[in-house]
Amino acid sequence: MPSPGYWREIPNRYRLEAGRCRGCGKVVYPARRVCPACRGRAFDRTALSRTATVVTSTVVHVPPGDLLMEAPYAVAVVESPEGARFAMQIVDCDPACVVPGLQVNLEFRLIRREGREGILCYGYKGVPAPQGAEGRG
């Protein structure tokens, strides 16, 4: 993506910055101007925890062109402890183990490259939390 668009998203992509609606308390990620729950317009800045739970998932076998070498990869809709839901890849595991309820820790990764000479785009991916251990906050 062209760099101004990428740069604008850094707070939510690098630091999981979200907004907590002052009207109804809903945590909105990425932050928006208007709360989708109550249409409130005042928010407090907050950051999501670096753990989440898988809600639903799939394994992508036919990827977009720039992720060709990385397929097959698992993607999931996950939910953070703050109640925010968002999509991400789940990596460093057998894709078959990505099932609803799986606890993941969020690790900073290179999400995509703009070809050979464009910018590098970073963000978070989920990695299954070690068995029996609590996710790292």
Partner 1 sequence: MAGIVGYGAFIPRMRIRTDEIARQWHKDPGTIRRGLLLEEKSVPGFDEDTITISVAAGRAALDRSGVDPARVGALYIGSESHPYAVKPSGTVVAEALGIGPDVHVADFEFACKAGTEAMFVALCLVESGRVEYALAIGADTSQGAPDDALEYSASAGGAAYLFGRNDTLVDVLATHSVTTDTPDFWRREGAFYPRHGGRFTGEPAYFKHVLASTRALFAKSGLGPQDFRFAVFHMPNGKFPLEAGKTLGFRREQLEVGWIVPQMGNTYSGSSPTGLAAVLDVAEPGDRILLTSFGSGAGSDSFALQATERLVERRTRAPTVRGMLDGPHRYLTYGEYAKVREKIIVND
Partner 2 sequence: MRDVAIVAAGMTRFGELWDSSLRDLFVDAATEALDHAGADHLDAVFVGNMSGGLFTGQEHVGALLVDQLGMAGVAAARVESACASGGVALRAAFAEVASGLSDLVLAAGVEKMNDGADVTAVLATAADQETEVYHGLTFPALYAMIARAHMHAHGTTEEDLAWVSVKNHRHGARNPKAQFQKEVTVEQVAASALVAEPLRLLHCSPVSDGAAAVLLCPLEQARRYTDRPVRIAASGLATSSMALANRADPAWLDAVERAAAKAYRMAGTGPKQIQVAEVHDCFAIAEICCIEALGFVERGRGGKAARDGFTALGGCIPVNTSGGLKAKGHPVGATGIAQAIEIFEQLRGEAGERQVAGAELGLAQNMGGSGASAVVHIFERV
Structural contact between residues 78 and 54, judged by C-beta atoms closer than 8 angstroms: yes
State yes or no: residue 122 binds partner 2 (CB under 8 A).
Answer: no
Contacts (Cβ under 8 Å, ≥6 apart) of 126 = 52, 54, 76, 78, 88, 89, 90, 91, 104, 105, 106, 107
Residues at the site binding partner 1, with contacts judged by CB under 8 A: 10, 14-15, 68-70, 89, 91-93, 107-111, 115-116, 120, 122, 125, 128, 130
* Nearest alpha-carbon partner for 48 in 23, 14, 75: 14
By a kind-dependent CB cut-off of 5 to 8 A, residue 1 interacts, out of partner 2, partner 1, none, with partner 2
Sole window of 17-25, 41-49, 80-88, 128-136 interacting with partner 2 (rule: CB under 8 A): 80-88
Q: Kindly report the length of the chain.
A: 137
Phi and psi of 121, rounded to 5°? Answer: -115, 125
State yes or no: residue 11 binds partner 2 (CB under 8 A).
Answer: no
State yes or no: residue 43 binds partner 2 (CB under 8 A).
Answer: no
The binding site for partner 2 (CB under 8 A) comprises 1, 9, 13, 30, 36, 55-65, 67, 70, 72-73, 75-77, 85-89, 95, 100, 111-112, 121, 123, 125
